[in-house]
Amino acid sequence: MTHLTVYHEHDPVRPELATGDPTVLAGHLAMAGVLFERWPAEHPLPTDAGSDAVLAAYAAPIARLKEARGYRSVDVARVPRGVPDAAALRAKFLDEHTHTEDEARFFVEGSGAFYLHLRPRVLRLVCEAGDLLSVPAGTPHWFDMGADPHFTAIRFFTRPDGWVAEPTGDPIAARFPAYAGPEAV
């Protein structure tokens, strides 16, 4: 289940809010200026589906989103369960960073947790299939795919050079609860 936890940036232990209510969490994200929408994600994908197969299965919503939001390109981030280099893959996204463009992701399988550092708060959003999240450009954030990662996300880009991360150097991510998987939410 999609789940939002709101913390003060200096208190990663006692959340100000924890909710799985779709209306409440969407409202909080909207108030924070974060685009969040639910889109149908109902195409079963074979275990060995490559990027082309994922893009073909979701061609219709991809076209609508590109048209509506001006995205120029898409690709697929797919981490199948049991991937051998899970720890290294997970570590790549665990440090707080920013991008010069919005980080737009449409989850079509599995789950993962985004942490948005919107001072003075940290918003932790567990995304599941059907969630479209766009982290605004310049917003410090990190992503935890968990110790047993499994997700497929379609990534949207507005710039031809795509995804470039600028580390903030702030060790804040280590203080906040890691993502333990959907059953623990």
Residues that bind Fe ion (CB under 5 A): 103
In terms of CB distance, is 57 or 79 closer to Fe ion? Answer: 79
State the DSSP H helix or E strand holding residue 8, giving kind and residue range, or none if neither.
strand 3-8
State the residue number with the nearest CB to Fe ion.
103
Let me know: does 15 contact 3? Beta carbons within 8 Å.
no
Q: To which residue do tokens 């710039």 refer? A: 159
In terms of CB distance, is 101 or 103 closer to Fe ion? Answer: 103
In terms of CB distance, is 58 or 143 closer to Fe ion? Answer: 143
In terms of CB distance, is 58 or 157 closer to Fe ion? Answer: 157
Q: Do strands 150-157 and 103-118 pair parallel, antiparallel, or not at all (unpaired)?
A: antiparallel
Q: How far is the CB of 67 from Fe ion (least distance, A)?
A: 24
* 3-state secondary structure (DSSP) of residue 69: helix
Q: To which residue do tokens 């060790």 refer? A: 171
Q: How far is the CB of 137 from Fe ion (least distance, A)?
A: 10
In terms of CB distance, is 96 or 128 closer to Fe ion? Answer: 96
C-beta neighbour count of 143 within 10 angstroms: 22
**CA end-to-end span of the chain, whole Å?**
8
In terms of CB distance, is 19 or 168 closer to Fe ion? Answer: 168
**DSSP assignment of 21-66, as one string?**
-HHHHHHHHHHTT-EEEE--------TT--HHHHHHHTHHHHHHHH
Q: To which residue do tokens 């790549």 refer? A: 92
